[in-house]
Structure 1
Amino acid sequence: MAQTLLVLSGGHPYEEGPFAEFLDAVAGLLPGDWQVVHYVHPEAEERVAAGAAKSADAVLFYDMPGYTFADGTVKTAAPSDAFKAALESRFLSGHGAVMMHHAIAGWAEWPQWSEWVGGRFLYQPGMVRGEAKLDSGYRHDVDYTAELVSDHPVLDDIPRTFEVNDELYLCEVFEDDVRPLIRARHDYVAENFYSAAHAVAGRMFDNSDWPHPPGSNLVAWIKQVHAAQVIYCQFGDGPHTYANPVVRQIIANALEWTSR
């Protein structure tokens, strides 16, 4: 009998064909027979609220729900109580999840989400854990070396260092509350990133008047959530990263580990 990999996406643009190929490749790396079930928001939220996460063997969040971007502004919303309860139930039961890339920005009106992820990407200046923070930074198409900084089954058969071309974030990472897995050899300072708030306002690739402090170079970590483990991987901006065989193996390892 096939096991189920539940994938949630939506709220952030991505190239659907290459991402579907990525999912098929990852499922093929998992032991046994796996079926990919993929829902896009708003249906994804409805399906989880109705029990899809409870019945899934593994869950991959590649979504950024709770936002509406229009005319240089951003509006935010929280998920339904049923959605919240469904995820809480999954984690209490000891079944984890994997969160990729822009999932760290999801559900700006639901602080519990960032606690589960282990960090927060801000599209606007806001409060994080009771402290005022500037909006986060982004930088596309960065060539960098990723380095393993832990020994863990998620990193089995992964080279100690490997090359990646991907988008990086200068965002809030709760380093004291997570187990580091992978760091990027990149200088996480404001001049190497662009302001997310400027981008929302129509000023793409602009870091003027944005004195963001230096940030964490963690790009993958484990967060304990109730009886479960959540794994966040910053990899995943587009086709170049989807096709990276090392990234595919890391995500497969993470899904297999959190499905136990």
Structure 2
Amino acid sequence: MGRSLLVLSGGHPYEEEPFEAFIHALGDWDVTHLVHPQAEDEVARGAAQEADALLFYDMPGYTFAEGTVTTRPPSPGFVRAITRRFEAGRGAVALHHALAGWAEWDAWHDWLGGRFLYRPGEWRGRKAPDSGYRHEIEYTARALAHHPVTAGLPESFPVTDELYLCPIDEGAVTPLIRAEGFAFTRDNFYSAANAVAGDMFSREGWDHPTGSSLVGWETRALAAPLIYLQFGDGPATYANGHVRRAVANALAYTSGGTG
């Protein structure tokens, strides 16, 4: 048996077959893929504690219906299981829409160092507008540091993917990868709250301050390394060899203990 990788998904749509190919191309892992709501229950029963590597590609805690969104916190068992993993110095990798998951679990976003909001809320004690999104952006990803996550990557590489305009605390993270060639300003994104209300690709009545262009960083979750990479909207990104290398590096790095 090889080393084990637990992948969590669900709560946000994605193309299943290309994603399965992606997660099985990230190294010599024995992959277990759990989808919410089963994922929440299995983690509470110990699945995350047993895995060598953990990849969050999930956006749980939301119900979207009839132009509204409601949220709920994770179960106490799920919170205890993830907290125990991080207290033990065992890290994780979070991709793409995981930045929006568990809107009612503040510690998750404190650990991540950022937060995507589907409706106006708070970040670091301050009011924040709903976040922005924009699909199929062609941009240049630039490696910012010599780090295990960027090992083997070129200094810059092309990516076509969805980007977010949302709060990111650059002062609380170690920057690893930045998006260049696209401005993180209100006029380049669409309102998440408008999309929930049924008005996709709209910025009507919405304002948002200029945001961070970071798309990859390291932070600490208690005693553990936590890597966030914004890559991952769909098949074009899954198939990008440089994205695969970054995610594979991140899994190897965060599965090695306290980092």
TM band (smaller chain) = over 0.9
Secondary structure of 2:232's aligned partner:
coil
1:128 corresponding residue in structure 2: 123
Q: Could you give the per-residue CA deviations for residues 205-227 of structure 1, whole angstroms, max 9, x where no partner exists?
A: 00122121100000000001221
Asked if residue 221 in structure 1 is aligned to residue 217 in structure 2, the reply is yes
Structure 2: gaps (5+ residues): none
Which whole-Å CA distance do the structure 2 matches of 1:259 and 1:127 have between them? 32
Aligned length: 255
Q: Could you give the per-residue CA deviations for residues 59-107 of structure 1, whole angstroms, max 9, x where no partner exists?
A: 0000000000000000000001111011111011111000000000000
Which whole-Å CA distance do the structure 2 matches of 1:231 and 1:205 have between them? 29
What are the equivalent positions in structure 2 for 1:90-105 lying under 5 Å apart?
Answer: 90-105=85-100
1:45 corresponding residue in structure 2: 40
Which whole-Å CA distance do the structure 2 matches of 1:34 and 1:99 have between them? 17
Secondary structure of 1:37's aligned partner:
strand
User: Percent of pairs identical after alignment?
Assistant: 59
1:169 corresponding residue in structure 2: 164
2:18 corresponding residue in structure 1: 18
The code of the aligned residue for 2:233 comes to D
TM-score (norm 1): 0.97
Secondary structure of 1:75's aligned partner:
strand
1:78 corresponding residue in structure 2: 73
1:231 corresponding residue in structure 2: 227
What root-mean-square deviation, in Å, do the aligned CA atoms of Structure 1 and Structure 2 show? Answer: 0.7
Q: Could you give the per-residue CA deviations for residues 23-60 of structure 1, whole angstroms, max 9, x where no partner exists?
A: 1111xxx3xx4210000000000011000010000000
1:183 corresponding residue in structure 2: 178
More displaced, 205-214 or 15-24?
205-214
Structure 1: gaps (5+ residues): none
Asked if residue 250 in structure 1 is aligned to residue 246 in structure 2, the reply is yes
Secondary structure of 1:173's aligned partner:
coil
The code of the aligned residue for 2:4 comes to T
The code of the aligned residue for 1:170 comes to L
Match of 2:135 among 135, 140, 164: 140
TM-score (norm 2): 0.97
Match of 2:200 among 198, 204, 213: 204
Which whole-Å CA distance do the structure 1 matches of 2:85 and 2:122 have between them? 27
The code of the aligned residue for 2:66 comes to D
Secondary structure of 1:79's aligned partner:
coil
